[in-house]
Amino acid sequence: MNIENKARKFYDCFNKVKRLRKYDHPVVKAHVIDKINFIKENIELSKTTKVLEVGAGNGYFSHYLEDSCDLLATDVNKETLTLNPTKNKKVCDVNKLPFKNNSFDVVTSFDILHHVNNPERAVKEITRVSKKYVVLVEPNGDNIIQRAIFLPVPREWGINRFTTKYFKNIIKKNRLKILEFEHIGRLFTPNMPLPYAFIKKMPYSKSSQLNFHNIAICVKERAFDRKSKEQDL
């Protein structure tokens, strides 16, 4: 069974998906909010900014992003998408997006690429429909703790190949310029047991070994060249 089928086998079972934490759960918010803030710090969003979220699922990121932009949330699974609170939704596959070139100001992908067989092809599609910005967030394959945690979870085995080097390679192959890149998201949540709560007070580290995700804010090369020329003028 390939990586994509492992993921679909789980997400096609609606009863399993319904048992996942909801988008407004405190632990989900802790997982999401630092990444949403990082995006807002580096991309100027407004209610007229057209944003496409691929693989939006049950709305973990959509819920915290929708108020800042004109968001369209998409997912390959119709039933899972019914759990997403976003107003504008569409069923579609990241491997073949039903949109014209340069249709959106920003295209985002949160924790999706490690679930597909050909991440490079998926990023190519994401880049095609973006007018300017591409935001990619993936689990950090350099973090051995994370890899150990998900060892018993077949749908997450794609994490193992998503090292920082592999992730950046896919981005460069698709002619994207990385504007900002960060290791983000330590292992702490609002419900962490008290003996481990001291971790929350430790200085934040940007080490790839201590963070559970990588986030890349990218711009299409032509858009980057155009922006550079405008600044020179």
Q: What confidence tens digit (pLDDT) does each residue in 171-199 have? A: 999 999 999 999 987 655 444 444 544 45
pLDDT at 230: 45
d(CA 103, CA 105): 7
Q: What average pLDDT is seen over the chain?
A: 87
Q: What confidence tens digit (pLDDT) does each residue in 105-146 have? A: 999 999 999 999 999 999 999 999 999 999 999 999 998 888
Q: Are 128 and 101 in contact (CB under 8 A)?
A: yes
d(CA 209, CA 143): 5
What would the mean pLDDT of 191-216 be, rounded to a whole number? Answer: 62
Domain limits of the chain? 3-232
What's the predicted TM-score (pTM) here?
0.88
CATH topology of domain 3-232: Rossmann fold (3.40.50)
Q: Helix and strand tally (H, E) in the chain?
A: 9, 7
Give, to the nearest 10 degrees, the angle between helix 164-173 and helix 119-129: 50
* Eight-class DSSP state of 111: S
Tokens coding 5 = 């089928």
63: left (phi over 0), alpha (psi -120 to 50) or beta: alpha
d(CA 118, CA 121): 6
Q: What confidence tens digit (pLDDT) does each residue in 45-70 have? A: 999 999 999 999 999 999 999 999 99
